A = this chain, B = another copy of it.
Amino acid sequence: MTTMSEQPEVVGTAAGPLVYRFGDGQSDGDGDLRNLLGGKGAGLAEMSRLGIPVPPGFTITTDVCNAYYDQGRTYPAALEPEVRAGIAHIERIVGAAFGDAGNPLLVSVRSGARVSMPGMMDTVLNLGLNDVTVEGLAVRSRNPRFAYDSYRRFVAMYGDVVLGVGRDKETDEHPFEALLKVKKQLRGVELDTELGADDLKQLVQEYKAEIQRRIGVAFPDDPWEQLWGAVGAVFNSWETPRAVVYRDMHGYPSAWGTAVNVQAMVFGNLGDDCATGVVFTRDAATGAARLSGEYLLNAQGEDVVAGVRTPQPITSSAGNAAHNNGGPSFEESMPEAYDQLERACSTLEGHFRDMQDIEFTVQQGRLWILQTRAGKRTGPAMVKIAADLVDEGVIDEETVIARQDPEKLIELLHPVFDSSAPREVIATGLPASPGAAVGRAVFSVDEAADWVARGEPVILVRTETSPEDIQGMIAARGILTARGGTASHAAVVARGMGKCCVSGCGALHIDYQAGRFSVVTAAGETVTVERGDVISLDGTNGEVMLGELPTLEPALPEEYERLMGWADGVRRLGVRANADTPEDAARARAFGAQGIGLCRTEHMFFGDDRILAVRRMICAEDETERRAALDEILPMQRGDFSGILRAMAGFPVTIRLLDPPLHEFLPNTPDELREVAEALRITGQQMEQRVAALEEFNPMLGHRGVRLAVTFPEIYEVQTRAIIEAACQLVAEGVEAIPEIMVPLVGSEAELAYARELIANTAQRVMDEQGTRIEYTIGTMIELPRACIVADRIAEYADFFSFGTNDLTQTAFGLSRDDSARFLPAYIGRNLLTHDPFVEIDRDGVGGLLQMGLERGRSAKPDLKVGICGEHGGNPASIAFCHEAGLDYVSCSPYRVPIARLAAAQAALAEPE
């Protein structure tokens, strides 16, 4: 939809509170208020109600965020007193006071949107510290080093997130990190923890001076000023380009807004009886019914997510053996807290009836649950957890189907490396996101874009990733990081994208400047990988290999089959595949395709054995030359169709007759030009003239589709002959071949009537020759706005319609897919489009045309079979639309067939009773 951002509802105290408090076993809100409080806020409210030990705090609602943007980035007047009441609520429970010199209350300020957007929203911790309160904290904690480290972290984080002092563009280094490094070098120490309180105190002043130097503004010492700055930063971060990119990628509208969670700080870094971690109530990678996750002793929560240190596993079970840094598990090091955590996990999963992703901190032996949310999981984990929850009687099958993310199935369906092939493993990291990826090593977003633009797949190699790397991660086939666990930014984002990722591969030494990394292998050998060298990543076991490894088709888990079975029992929409070869057809069938919705004949024209004949056909001056070339192509096309029809025996196969403008097949190189000229016995100059004569200003709107058949009927004639001959032979063999012949780019009934006559006459002639009758139908693509308008008349000559929503989107919008890159980002940046209409169908415009075409077509022919074969056929949101519109089937690429089956089932379940 290219709608304007929706108008936010009026905000005011009349519409309810702007701030919701929680803590101490009570709360103003609950888990149902996800839209208002965000996922995190709703979870905290719900947990507090359930008696889960969450640090007290309050949530500023998403309505406030919308009001903030609606009123030119200012707050509603009613907000300030409510925030003050919220702070008083926290002060009362924890017994500390905000800005108090003796017993200061410190808070965290976090974003929290309706859905989790990891790494996207900015967070500030330890807020409330200044030169006065830090002393109070030092006294009360009896740990000046901790106090000043907290202060240092706070100033750094606030400087970065709120005041905008960022990473240096040239050195890619953060100024605060640089100062920290210098300080460590000065002190001759290696670890942050080796620095003393005085060092840290100095660092705070150095950080503040750096801030003043860089932005010309002093660091705010007033805690209230700090708080309002942080709240504003959270709201502002909702509209940063990277947040917008992420939302766009997931189709989340801008109008959702984010909530702000202000919560008492608890500390995992007060000593060795402290820890912080993330736990999944089930294994997020495999779905196994055991706790997974990781923790760090004596650390703040950000350390786990940021991946600066590689954490240790939660449990000691075998499944966590991959965490190979040798440290003890949480279960081992803090058995009491682990027991409390296990109970909390059980309570929370039981309550939410789904696998939970829980952040926790242990402060001086006491467990605090910081947040819970439905855990992101891999595709395999998704289906395993789904089946297990059904088996455990927690949820029913329909609930399972509705909850799945169809896109995640990709992870089950993509190839894995052939385990029989020899592997030159140079390093092993954490299996952060499953799959197999091969590509050229690149070290930055720009490098990734450059290589991909040249058609080369890439692996993005980074010490760690941050949200600035998102575009590079989208471009890459896989992601490899030197630091960070399976909950690190790289891991979480890669899993979200269904992309292979190996994280925390500590052996990597990356030299960004030189564009290379080196590792010392297990055998003690040093291997260097230069920018552009090909490497292979195994996201399932964390291995990194030199060169390109061969891949194998994935084996699907048995839970997958169960899930698909449930989905098939629910869905009404048929699912076919777009496939142009017998191999693709067989794969599609294995994935559950109920036929082929689009077999593009032009792809067959590019075969080495026939491209010369195709070119002779195109460059022919007259029908005789053209027929001679077509006669050579005929037996090959017949072979193609025979293979595909055989692979799909018993299911319909929709074959689209030649569609693209002929110049797409023309030779590009002088050698190829000469070859064709010789075959046609014409001079090079004549050849150039013929090629030039085929050039078009707007090929998309040019001489293509059925227009080719109007000028060169012999092309469709020969293609029809190839199809019918193939089908006759198969039927004679007892193979059930069901061809559906499809005419592209029809805009009027006259065109289809003409093509139908041509096809039907040819088919009749071939069947007479072969002495065989076969069943076949003739239909058309509906891919032009005019075809939608006059669909009732076109239907009179069509046995079926197949909506070509790629071209329909291009013509409805007047938007060339090939040229839109120049301005679509600006559209998304300015909120003029909420998503790319080529990815998710534009319901209002293109969808409106489709609906009109469907209704008018069926008004003339009530039993007209209608499907869709554009790229949208594999997009869940678009599939939902197709279901609602009343199509008979969708057709998509073979790998997306399971996704479409699931999405179709979800669409059926989403239907109002």
Residues of A within 8 A of B (CB): 2-4, 696-703, 707, 710-711, 745, 747-751, 753-754, 783-786, 789-790, 793, 807, 810-816, 818-820, 822-823, 826-827, 830-833, 842, 844-846, 848-849
Contact = CB atoms under 8 A, between A and B. Distances in A.
A802 to B, nearest CB: 16
Contacts of A811: 701, 785, 811-812, 814
Contacts of A710: 823, 826-827, 830, 832
Nearest to A831: B750
Contacts of A754: 830, 832
11 contacts: A701-B819, A710-B827, A710-B830, A745-B814, A747-B812, A747-B814, A748-B845, A784-B812, A786-B812, A786-B814, A811-B811
Contacts of A751: 2, 832
Contacts of A701: 698, 700-701, 810-811, 813-816, 819
A812 B745 CA distance: 11
Nearest to A847: B789
Nearest to A694: B822
- Across chains A and B, which 10 residue pairs bring their CB atoms closest together, nearest first? A786-B845, A701-B816, A785-B785, A698-B816, A2-B748, A702-B819, A697-B818, A789-B848, A784-B814, A698-B700
Contacts of A748: 2-3, 832-833, 845
A830 B757 CA distance: 13
Contacts of A790: 844-845, 848
A812 B811 CA distance: 7
Contacts of A747: 2, 812-815, 845
A307 to B, nearest CB: 35
A570 to B, nearest CB: 32
Given A789-B812, A815-B701, A750 B2 contact: yes
Nearest to A810: B701
A836 to B, nearest CB: 14
A696 B819 contact: yes
Given A3-B749, A711-B826, A831-B750, A703 B786 contact: no
B4 A753 contact: yes
Q: Name which of A700, A789, A813 has the most chain B CB atoms within 10 A of its CB.
A: A789
Given A697-B816, A703-B819, 13 more contacts: A2-B751, A4-B753, A696-B819, A697-B699, A699-B819, A702-B820, A710-B827, A747-B845, A748-B833, A784-B814, A789-B812, A789-B844, A790-B848
B697 A700 contact: yes
Nearest to A710: B826
A816 to B, nearest CB: 4
A848 B788 CA distance: 10
B819 A814 contact: no
A361 B822 CA distance: 73
Contacts of A822: 702-703, 711
A511 to B, nearest CB: 30
A826 B712 CA distance: 10
A814 to B, nearest CB: 4
A845 to B, nearest CB: 4
Contacts of A819: 696-699, 701-703
Contact of A807 (B696, B699, B786, B814): B814
A789 B790 CA distance: 15
Q: Name which of A807, A810, A814 has the most chain B CB atoms within 10 A of its CB.
A: A814
Contacts of A698: 698-701, 816, 818-819
A813 B832 contact: no
Given A789-B849, A848-B790, A814 B783 contact: yes
Contacts of A848: 789-790
Contacts of A814: 700-701, 745, 747, 783-786, 807, 811
A749 B7 CA distance: 14
Contacts of A696: 816, 818-819
Contacts of A784: 812-814
Contacts of A785: 785, 811-812, 814, 845, 849
A793 B1 CA distance: 13
A145 B711 CA distance: 51
Nearest to A809: B786
Contact of A711 (B3, B810, B823, B849): B823
A652 to B, nearest CB: 26
Contacts of A826: 710-711
Q: Name which of A753, A786, A826 has the most chain B CB atoms within 10 A of its CB.
A: A786
Nearest to A708: B823
A820 B749 CA distance: 19
A849 B812 CA distance: 11
B844 A707 contact: no
A749 B789 CA distance: 22
A749 B810 CA distance: 18
A750 B833 contact: yes
A174 to B, nearest CB: 27
Contact of A750 (B813, B815, B832): B832
Contacts of A831: 750
A12 to B, nearest CB: 25
A789 B845 contact: yes
Contacts of A711: 822-823, 826
A814 B707 CA distance: 11
A819 B754 CA distance: 22
A703 B842 CA distance: 20
Contacts of A789: 812, 844-845, 848-849
A691 to B, nearest CB: 14
A202 to B, nearest CB: 41
Contacts of A810: 701
B786 A813 contact: yes
A241 B13 CA distance: 78
A905 B422 CA distance: 85
Contacts of A833: 748, 750
A816 B749 contact: no
A693 to B, nearest CB: 9
A699 B819 CA distance: 8
A116 to B, nearest CB: 27
Nearest to A807: B814
A793 to B, nearest CB: 8
A602 B747 CA distance: 32
Contacts of A783: 814
A807 B811 CA distance: 10
A647 to B, nearest CB: 32
B816 A750 contact: no
Given A814-B783, A844-B789, A707 B823 contact: yes
A789 B789 CA distance: 11
Contacts of A820: 702
Contacts of A812: 747, 784-786, 789, 811
Contacts of A846: 786
Contacts of A823: 703, 707, 710-711
A747 B833 CA distance: 11
Nearest to A755: B832
A790 B842 CA distance: 11
A748 B790 CA distance: 23
A355 B7 CA distance: 67
A747 B753 CA distance: 32
A593 to B, nearest CB: 29
Contacts of A753: 4
A411 to B, nearest CB: 34
Contacts of A816: 696-698, 700-702
